[in-house]
Chains A and B, each alone.
Chain A
Amino acid sequence: NSKVIQTPRYLVKGQGQKAKMRCIPEKGHPVVFWYQQNKNNEFKFLINFQNQEVLQQIDMTEKRFSAECPSNSPCSLEIQSSEAGDSALYLCASRDRGQNTLYFGAGTRLSVL
């Protein structure tokens, strides 16, 4: 069973507001992924980290999101100015170095009104 912890489970924001969600990866997992799952079940990769360093991110994330994975603190993903189209389930996953199996948290469901 996964031990990735995501908070909060639900987040409601108005358009233009900041929306911040957190993720604690499984202990000892240095690689963290963030995905967005929309209402059509489409997964969009947003960003991944190894330890505190960004490995890859998409253009949207670079422009509109702020993400970090500081040592000894939860990882976080923050939308700087929420848009209606950001309403989705945000999933965090972690994996161990050298392993390819991903372990997911329960997700943060964001609703932007």
Chain B
Amino acid sequence: GQQVQQSPASLVLQEGENAELQCNFSSTATQLQWFYQSPGGSLVSLLSNPSGTKHTGRLTSTTVTKERRSSLHISSSQTTDSGTYLCATATSGGNYKPTFGKGTSLVVHP
């Protein structure tokens, strides 16, 4: 089945620095979604980006489908960005069933 690897496992930044998170997956994905998980556990969808580049606010995701990788760039990090960032991929068809990576834990210090 699909395997999703995220790197780095953890990242510590000073407020204002940029973050680059990576997601690599084993099979061609037709759907890729980035999530933010708060320390309390809630998951929030950040971006759906199966291919190309998408922006929202301070977030930019670039997915290169043929190379089976995606990145999430967070610019000018803030302390409230601290949490876990998860990547999930799925293939199309009747067995649509997203597979999650283990996430990148981000800590942003003031």
Q: Which residues in A have some Cβ–Cβ distance to B below 8 Å? A: 1-2, 33, 35, 37, 40-43, 45, 48, 55-56, 89, 91, 93, 100-107, 109
Contacts and interface: CB of A to CB of B under 8 A. Distances in A.
Given A43-B100, A45-B99, A102-B45, 13 more contacts: A37-B41, A41-B103, A43-B99, A48-B97, A91-B43, A100-B31, A100-B96, A101-B45, A104-B45, A105-B42, A106-B42, A107-B42, A107-B43
Interface residues of B, number: 25
A42 B48 contact: no
Interface of B: 30-31, 33, 35, 40-45, 48, 50, 84, 86, 88, 90, 94-100, 102-103
A91 B33 CA distance: 16
A41 B84 contact: yes
B48 A107 contact: no
Contacts of B94: 55
A101 B48 contact: yes
14 contacts: A2-B44, A33-B98, A41-B102, A43-B86, A45-B97, A56-B97, A100-B30, A100-B33, A100-B96, A102-B45, A102-B88, A104-B35, A107-B42, A109-B41
